[in-house]
Amino acid sequence: MSELNWRLEFNEEIAATLIANLVTEVHKVQGENILAMTINALGSDSHFALTVGFQLTMECNGVHNVLNPSKNWIGSDLYNESVRHVSKYVWNEAEKKNKNKFAFIMNSEGYTYADLKFWSDVFVDIQHNHLTHKNTGVHFVQIYGCAPNSINFRFLQEHNRKYNLLMGMSVVCGSFLESMSHSEYIQSNESRERLKKLNSKPKVKPYKFLFYNNMVKLNRTYMVGQIIRRGLHPYGLMSLNLGHAGDAGFDDYLADGGIPTPYDQYIENHLNKDHIQGKLLKHFYPETGEEIFQALLNNKETLYSLKPLGRTRWSAENQGDGFCSYMTVGEDMYEHCEKCYFGIITETKYFHDVTNKDAPNLCQRETPSEYEYPVTPDTNFIDCITFTEKTSKFLLAKMPFVLVGFTHSLRTLRELGYKTFSPYINEAYDSITDDEDRSVAIAEEITRLCQLSEVQWIEILENLIPRLEHNFKLMTSNDPFHTLRFTVLPDQAR
């Protein structure tokens, strides 16, 4: 080991933790889900399977710390030491099983930079130190839970070149959206019966839109600001958790370096051009950002009233042994859908990537110059189309929606077999590449939809019933290979 002021070591306790979190032997994967299906497609006896979600325990000056991989530590001495130790451990475990092929499983709705970079480097180390065959497509395969489509695969190839990832590994794409939704849907008779009633007979409703926002993010807060500035908030049920609701999950988020609280400080930070949040706002919303956040600051009472709607996945009601409404529609959402004509969805990935080399003023800490990494405020996802429970719930609820997501998200849904809502909803925004222009176009369409009369909405919903029913049936399909539509290999393995 390098002579550093800390030690990273795998004692018996840490090894046991790694066995539990890193190693998932293929034959132990059970159930009709994406992991089981993709592993079966590979051949259950040939690959040593690894799953994302591990933790490294570091001993520093006698104190044990849990270290979660993030983009900020890549390239550091700690990072390089961790790569060497994990690759050695993984190889030793694989040798015990007499295996030299690896399946890396990312049961995630998108491409996560920190995970991809770390495990790519681990596999490079395994290849260089333990394997003789240099065709990586033979020894390594990556399985993704993100939307299986040509757009995402193109992004994967671009990330490979930009961030030095994946080493030409074979790739299998599945669909986290459908596999998780179906898994939860089949668990609850009550949920199935409740869903069958939604939108079966269009009726007059007291609100126009339903807009869920729990964790605050720049694009979500901006869209809430657009609605408030346009005076549309009385037309809908809308939430935004700015830390005033006492949600335990949100408190944890703050502790991990999330937004500051109270909410007025959060808004003011975005209006401060010297603050990192102000720099992000100026970069991603240069024309309209300041106006929108000033409108939020000028409407504190309205903003502060936007508490979470219904239960969050962290709430006590969802922590028991019973059915947990995460990917499907719970009783609270059913009640909300009964009151609203359409949904507004702010998906996880919205902004196009900007890296530390594109915009060094957005970097919050120093990183070795030879490494390029994203500084976009979209959690840790790099460019890709993501679909999460946010979208699946509205598909299950048989409710039309406006999707505040990455460019071509609606096109991707159609590629997956779902039907969207044009011309009743103007979906031209889906093809707009500029993130700010897309946001403004979405706000314009929400404004138009709010101005439609009750009679117009009844007619729209009646015309959309065949599409809504089609989407529902596709989402709840019991075909075990429903999510394995898109399988590709790297160039050198074709």
**68-99 pLDDT, tens digit each:** 555 666 777 777 877 887 788 778 878 877 87
pLDDT digits (tens, 9 = 90+) for 455-471: 999 999 999 999 999 99
C-alpha pair distances (Å), 149 with each of 87, 152, 170: 31, 6, 16
Go through the chain and tell me how many residues it has. Answer: 494
Q: What are the tens digits of pLDDT across the range 419-437?
A: 999 999 999 999 999 999 9
How far is residue 416 from each of residues 4, 38, 107, 128, 409, measured CA to CA in Å?
A: 50, 18, 18, 38, 11
Higher pLDDT pick, 101 / 298 = 298
Mean pLDDT of the chain: 75
Q: What percent of the chain has pLDDT over 70?
A: 67
Mean pLDDT, residues 228-245 taken together: 86
DSSP letters for 215-249: B--HHHHHHHHHHHHTT-GGGEEE--BSS-S--HH
Euclidean distance between CA atoms 227 and 235, whole angstroms: 10
Say which range, 152-156, 432-436, 445-449, has the weakest mean pLDDT: 152-156
3-state DSSP assignment of residue 342: strand
pLDDT tens digits, 97-109: 787 888 777 767 7
Lowest pLDDT segment from 43-52, 176-185, 196-205, 264-273: 43-52
pLDDT of residue 146 exceeding 60, the answer is: yes
* Range 288-317 average pLDDT: 80
Q: What is the pLDDT of residue 479?
A: 57
Where is pLDDT greater, at 57 or 269?
269
Instruction: Name the residue with tokens 């994203």.
Output: 374
What is the mean predicted confidence (pLDDT) over 50-60?
50
Confidence of residue 10 (pLDDT cuts 50, 70, 90): very low
Higher per-residue confidence, 356 vs 312: 356
